Amino acid sequence: MATARERIVDAAEELITAGQVPPALEAVAAAAGVSKGGLLYHFDKQSLLRALVTRAVHRFDARLTEAAARGTMAAAWLRLSVPAPDERTVYRAMMSMLRLTTTGEFDLPDEVGDAERRWQRMLTAEVGDPVRARLVRLVGDGLFLAALTGPPPTSDEVEQLLHHLGLPTSAGGVRS
């Protein structure tokens, strides 16, 4: 059974996915089945948003670490940069949360910077060159924005990019 803390984070994630960015604490408490005081015992608004971002980073990190172990992290990076149709809402919600950083309403947790540096090191180890690794990350960023702002790149287009960049793709086109 999930703890109250886990239920709160789950509820906040569901509300954000539904477009409530940031979600009202009252709505999170109701969705989690706790009182607002119960929610505030575990989180204030900032710490709840940080918990959501940290959870997303850990999920993404697990997928990339598995791919790195197979020698296909660069391919996984590009494939994961194009969210599947059922993931697009979550990705858009995360982008909305990132906009809150520009207003000073939200500061990203340290885990984000730590993860970015780790991912850069893992990509560099795989492709053998820090500039090429950075190029892969920037191409992924472009794919991500294209997927969120217009028609998403197709799987075939991503596979063509992988081929053009000469990246190992043992997954044969399957999302990593």
Residue 173, pLDDT > 70, answer no
Where are the domains positioned within the chain? 1-43, 62-165
Residue 170: what pLDDT?
Answer: 61
**Over the chain, what HEC string results?**
CCCHHHHHHHHHHHHHHCCCCCCCHHHHHHHHCCCHHHHHHHCCHHHHHHHHHHHHHHHHHHHHHHHHHHCCHHHHHHHHCCCCCCCHHHHHHHHHHHHHHHCCCCCCCHHHHHHHHHHHHHHHHHHCCHHHHHHHHHHHHHHHHHHHHCCCCCHHHHHHHHHHHCCCCCCCCCCC
Tell me which of 117 and 20 has the higher pLDDT. 117
Residue-wise pLDDT tens digits, 72-102: 999 999 999 998 877 777 777 777 767 777 7
Residue-wise pLDDT tens digits, 112-163: 889 999 999 999 999 999 999 999 999 999 998 888 888 889 999 999 999 9
Q: Are 72 and 174 in contact (CB under 8 A)?
A: no
Residue-wise pLDDT tens digits, 24-48: 999 999 999 999 999 999 999 889 9
**Residue 22 pLDDT level (bands cut at 50, 70, 90):** confident
Pick from 64, 48, 60, 57: nearest CA to 15: 48
Work out the percent of the chain whose per-residue pLDDT is above 90. Answer: 53
Pick from 44, 105, 80: nearest CA to 97: 105
Pick from 122, 6, 3, 87: nearest CA to 54: 6
Residue 26: what pLDDT?
Answer: 95
**Residue 23 pLDDT level (bands cut at 50, 70, 90):** confident
On the 0-12 / 13-18 / 19+ scale of CB atoms within 10 A, 110 is exposed
How high is the mean pLDDT of the chain? 87
Residue 101: what pLDDT?
Answer: 77
Measure the CA–CA gap between 84 and 152, rounded to whole angstroms.
9
